Amino acid sequence: MTPGRRRPPSGTKAPGLKPSGTKPPASRIKGRLTRQGGAAPEDAAVPPAAERTQKVLARMGLGSRREIEGWIEAGRLTVDGRALTMGERLLPGQAVFLDGKPLYTETRTRIARTFILNKPAGTVCTRKDPEQRPTVFELFPGALSRQLVCVGRLDFNTAGLLIFTTDGELAHRLMHPRHGVLREYAVRVFGKVDDEVLLRLEAGVEVDGETLAFEDVERQAGQGINEWYTCRLKTGRNREVRRLWESQGLTVSRLIRVRFGPLQLPRRLPAGRHVEVTGPDLGALYKAVGLPGPAPASDPVKPASPRKPRHVPAQTRGRSPRPR
């Protein structure tokens, strides 16, 4: 022992020294394991940047979520030489193949585009129809139509606003009930409608085992037994507007969708024509479903050259009638 120094009492720690049994902080162990190539902690198993495959591909406009999920279930999508599984997250740098052909890489960029179509009555909202009826996709140029996702559907005899987009994530959110996007319709009703009928339609009625209701109904211009009404709702069930009126013993003689969320059917847009949504209108549409706005398109598509649909009734090719 050096002269002049005293040994510290038993159980005390000398200044500047650590007890031999003290463990280093967990953060230091985590960093040491990472640098040495050791086992990664559980919370680092999925990098924060990893997203579900169907979400990434839908956002790129490569298909709707439902369509992409169908590819996964059928084993058509592969990554790293193996079939993707449902819900699997796509890691940075991974490439996705569809039927053995490259579909997506991390460096691929795509400008999202969104369009409003004034759907004419007498068309169906499918790409191919077994009855050979004209489809709404035939109203777009061929190369563009293959990239588009139709947001919801209008039945064969319904006209008006349809949204098409190359952004699958936007389409998914617009159609999902939890976002409650408002739809507005102009309806011409044949039959006697009193205030009690309107109250029942707003309160909710039982139709085919489910409760249907309008958010609100407004009486518009009209004379005699045919009157126009404005109906609003936040769901998109099959033939929902017609079924509600029919439950009251009434007949819908004309049905036109005039608004979807913040987008309104342009008054000067003829039936069968489309226009690209840009600027503040596009930003408002993304904001309505909680998405950041897309990058602006550098070469917007002009609505001047759609393919001519087959067998569309002559009276639907002009401007759609609107209630006054």
pLDDT digits (tens, 9 = 90+) for 214-266: 999 999 876 778 899 999 999 988 899 999 999 999 999 999 999 999 999 99
Please give the positions annotated as active site.
155
**83 vs 100, 235, 285, CA distance in Å?**
10, 35, 35
Terminal C-alpha separation, the chain: 107
- The CATH classification number of 111-179+269-298+307-312 equals 3.30.70.580
Burial of residue 111, with CB atoms counted within 10 A of its CB: 0-12 exposed, 13-18 middle, 19 or more buried: middle
Q: Report in angstroms the alpha-carbon separations of 176 from 169, 172, 293.
A: 11, 6, 19
Task: Enumerate the CATH 3.30.2350.10 domain ranges in the chain, comma separated.
Answer: 182-260
Q: How many residues does the chain have?
A: 324
CATH number 3.30.70.1400 is the correct assignment for the domain at 182-260: no
Residues of the chain with CATH 3.30.70.580: 111-179+269-298+307-312
Reported CATH class of domain 51-104: alpha beta
Q: Which helix (H) or strand (E) holds 172?
A: helix 168-175
Q: Is-contact 183 232, C-beta < 8 A? A: yes
What is the spatial distance between Cα 56 and Cα 68, in angstroms, rounded to a whole number?
10
Could you give the percent of the chain with pLDDT greater than 90?
45
Tokens 């020294």 appear where? Answer: 17
Helical (H) or strand (E) element with 90: strand 89-90
- Which one has a higher pLDDT value, 6 or 112? 112
- pLDDT, tens digit, for every residue of 47-98? 455 778 887 887 776 777 788 888 899 999 888 888 988 888 887 778 888 8
Contact 253, 121 (CB under 8 A): no
d(CA 138, CA 143): 11
Q: Give the mean model confidence (pLDDT) for residues 193-213.
A: 93
φ, ψ at 308 (rounded to 5°): -75, 125
* Range(s) of the chain covered by CATH 3.10.290.10: 51-104
Provide the 3-class DSSP secondary structure of residue 139: helix
